[in-house]
Amino acid sequence: MTGCLGNDEPLPVDSPEDIFDAAIESGDAWDLQRILSSEEIYKLEIVDSVAGVHSMVILGADNESGLTRVSMFTVSGNESIDFELLEGNSNYYVRIDDTWYLGRDAAPESINPLVGGTANLDAGIPNAQAGLPMDVTEFDSLDWRVTWDSGSEQMVAVANNETSQILLELRGNPPVLMKAESFGNDGITSTVMSITIGDAAKLEVPSEVSLRLPAPISGEVMMDVVDGIRIWEYTVADGFRWEVSVDEVELHVGERQSDGNLSVLVEFSVEAGHLDYTDQEGAAWAFDHFDNDGDGLLSGGDVLRVETDSERDFDAAIYDLWAEAYPESFLPAHFFSSLIIFAFAPFFRKQSKHAKCLIT
């Protein structure tokens, strides 16, 4: 590659290899936070195949519409997960298979979909499965074959390591990563990551959503007996993402049936803060809601407590009046538990200095 200045003789400029070496040395070309933070609209897609598990993860943001996206499709044998989450303002939308659900958030915050989940931002290139052969720390030791199209500012670099072939596509000047592919020498394992920006990555909310999703309240239950008083106490987890107004939830107390359903004895309005009740057997009950931060919402750190001298084998559950349903965590085992709690737990935590834990 050469260039001219006026009538001077052609002067050498950086070769494609020099440009690529500079990208490796700085690490800026693989810094996804840096690449995408300046984009108003983007989509990051990761497609994996490893050990018989096939998956696709999509992370996206559309600042023009105020929406973010997290989706996952995974197939392992006869089992599959197909999930998508769209967030924006006071509503969020959850798709499970072909069905969309509407949720709400009384204290919405700006969410960065690149935080948590599958993006290994410290290494610079995301791995949807651990152990895939795509590690930027080895890039400077590989023998790269580099081509550069100055007109389109497109660079393609190809190399082999001990386990796979790696192909990188970079664009711009200086170049930044737009696509990364890794194909295992076993002919089975592969990873393909691609970045889309602009109108092709725009996000829209689903046109028709009639099913309401109860707030996926997370927390920890404590049971105790003190001086003959039985205590049931529930602490909402710090970092709980989707707060709801206290006038939209109740605490239902009763006995569990064999099928796991709750036979309700008392309905306690969380908004009331405190309730004393005497049942037909003369047993005394006390119900309390302690609003940890006084925000009028059921949120992280809040405590719900039931105390009674009754000998009933009781249980309690939060009931979502808006959705007319119990949050999944208070029901018998259900597909929501494995899907929402375990597959996408990192995305269900508020990114704040108080966020310490999620669902237990």
Map tokens 């803060």 to a residue.
273
List beta partners, residue 284. Answer: 278
pTM, full prediction: 0.79
- Residue 18 carries which DSSP code? H
Measured between alpha carbons, how far is 119 from 49 in angstroms, rounded to an integer? 16
DSSP secondary structure, 212-236, as one string: EPPP---EEEEEEEETTEEEEEEEE
Q: Which of 246-255, 307-316, 341-350 is predicted with the least confidence, judged by mean pLDDT?
A: 341-350
What pLDDT digit, counting tens, does each position of 290-302 carry?
999 999 999 999 9
Per-residue confidence at 25, pLDDT binned at 50, 70, 90? confident
Q: Which of 5-9, 29-33, 257-261, 265-269 is predicted with the least confidence, judged by mean pLDDT?
A: 5-9
Q: Name all contacts of 161-165 with Cβ < 8 Å and 24+ positions apart.
A: 161/133, 162/133, 163/133, 164/133, 164/134, 164/189
> Which residue type is seen at 173?
N
List the domain boundaries for the chain.
8-201, 214-348
User: Which of 39, 45, 47, 42 lies closest to 68 in space, CA to CA?
Assistant: 42
What Rg do the C-alpha atoms of the chain give, in angstroms?
A: 26
Distances (CA, A) of 141 to 125, 157, 162, 170, 252: 17, 14, 12, 19, 62
Question: How confident is the model at residue 332, as a pLDDT?
Answer: 61
Tell me which of 342 and 62 has the higher pLDDT.
62
Q: What would be the CATH architecture of the domain defined by 8-201? A: Clam (2.50)
Tell me which of 51 and 124 has the higher pLDDT.
51
Residue 12 has pLDDT above 80, yes or no: no
Helix (H) or strand (E) holding 275: strand 274-278
Tell me which of 339 and 263 has the higher pLDDT.
263
Per-residue confidence at 260, pLDDT binned at 50, 70, 90? confident
Report residue 57 CA to chain centroid gap: 11
Question: How confident is the model at residue 135, as a pLDDT?
Answer: 74
- Residue 20 carries which DSSP code? H
Helix (H, G, I), strand (E, B), or coil: what is residue 96? strand
Q: Which of 116-125, 130-139, 329-338 is predicted with the least confidence, judged by mean pLDDT?
A: 116-125
DSSP secondary structure, 304-318, as one string: EEEEE------EEEE
Measured between alpha carbons, how far is 48 from 308 in angstroms, rounded to an integer? 53
What pLDDT digit, counting tens, does each position of 129-146 carry?
333 446 777 888 889 999
Question: How confident is the model at residue 349, as a pLDDT?
Answer: 57
Q: Alpha-carbon torsion 28, 32, 34, 38, what sign? A: positive
Measured between alpha carbons, how far is 135 from 125 in angstroms, rounded to an integer? 7
Distances (CA, A) of 235 to 65, 87, 154, 238, 357: 35, 25, 53, 9, 12
Top mean-pLDDT range of 175-189, 262-276, 322-336: 262-276
Question: How confident is the model at residue 116, as a pLDDT?
Answer: 53
